[in-house]
Amino acid sequence: MNNIVSFYEQSDEESRLTTNSARKIEFEVTTAILNQHIKIQNNILELGAGTGVYSFYYADKGNNVFATDITPKHVDIINQKLSQRDKRINLSTELADATNLCNYESEKFDIVLNLGPMYHLTNESDRRKCIKESLRVLKKGGILATAYINKHFVLNFIMPRYKKFLTNSFVEKVMNTGVIKEGEKECFWTDNFFTTPLEMETFISKFGMEIIDHIACDGISPLLSNFIDNMNDVEYSTWLNYSLASCREKSILGMSNHCLLICKK
């Protein structure tokens, strides 16, 4: 985990979902679908909350939210934003590892949002721990939403932009293992795990949950960032409506950058 913490201590996660229209698609689609499953009275635990974009969104709607992250900088930013607010919201923060939620009692939460950790857990044992801990703190009938990044999007995004990755060894590494790690020849980010919709559903099915929704959060919008960022408001609204209408289409699901698997305990 040290590589991941170090990476995010030096990066600007705050702007990832807000810097341009193409990136906003992920947030807009994710919240629109989650809103079909989350009620105002639900207690929410967010794992890997980053700087709190989703946590603030749901706290502002009236939910009681616990925002956790493994990166001290992120927790500090959330606390700083909280201190600058005039209106009080039910948002608490804690530095926490998504694979060990020992500070939280079993069956405490109605909703667990696992929107960031999965694609940084390069060991399957850690991914299992993350899901098991999420289920332990989740009430019976509660909702677990887990985000992941697609192998095929990664290949289509990286190779045209950085030709040093246009190699058979890079393709084979992503396709066969889904894992890249800092210091390795094929690493373009930090320690990461990439998967596919079918692989993710197979993995999740081992934990006895009911899959109730599976969506493409941003589709190929990140591949079309210049096109989307130059849209006017009406054009952007049309693109967003299309993204929402097509987010469950399986052919788009497999090519989307971020996907979200929503399950019931």
Model confidence pLDDT, tens digit, residues 175-198? 999 999 988 988 988 889 999 999
pLDDT interval class at 6 (50, 70, 90): low
Specify the pLDDT at position 2: 61
Q: What is the pLDDT of residues 103-130, one digit of tens each?
A: 999 999 999 999 999 999 999 999 999 9
Domain locations in the chain as residue ranges: 2-150+191-264
Q: What is the pLDDT of residues 206-216, one digit of tens each?
A: 999 999 999 99
Amino acid at 76: D
Specify the pLDDT at position 200: 97
- Angstrom distance (rounded) from CA 171 to CA 173: 5
Specify the pLDDT at position 87: 81
Positive/negative CA dihedral, 261, 10, 73, 95:
positive
DSSP string of 180-202, one letter each residue: E-TTSTT-SSSSEE-B-HHHHHH
Q: What is the pLDDT of residues 215-253, one digit of tens each?
A: 999 999 999 999 999 999 999 999 999 999 999 999 999
- Is 2-150+191-264 a CATH 3.40.50.150 domain? yes
Of 49-63, 75-89, 94-108, 120-134, which range is least confident?
Answer: 75-89
Specify the pLDDT at position 16: 60
Q: In sequence order, what are the residues at sequence separation of 6 or more whose Cβ sits closer than 8 angstroms to the Cβ of residue 14?
A: 50, 51, 77
Which strand (E) or helix (H) includes residue 216? strand 210-216
Q: Which of 221, 252, 245 is nearest to 27 (CA)?
A: 221
pTM: 0.93
Specify the pLDDT at position 50: 93
Specify the pLDDT at position 227: 94
pLDDT interval class at 21 (50, 70, 90): confident
Looking at residues 126-147, what average pLDDT do you find?
98
- Angstrom distance (rounded) from CA 54 to CA 17: 10
Contact status, residue 103 vs residue 66, Cβ threshold 8 Å: no
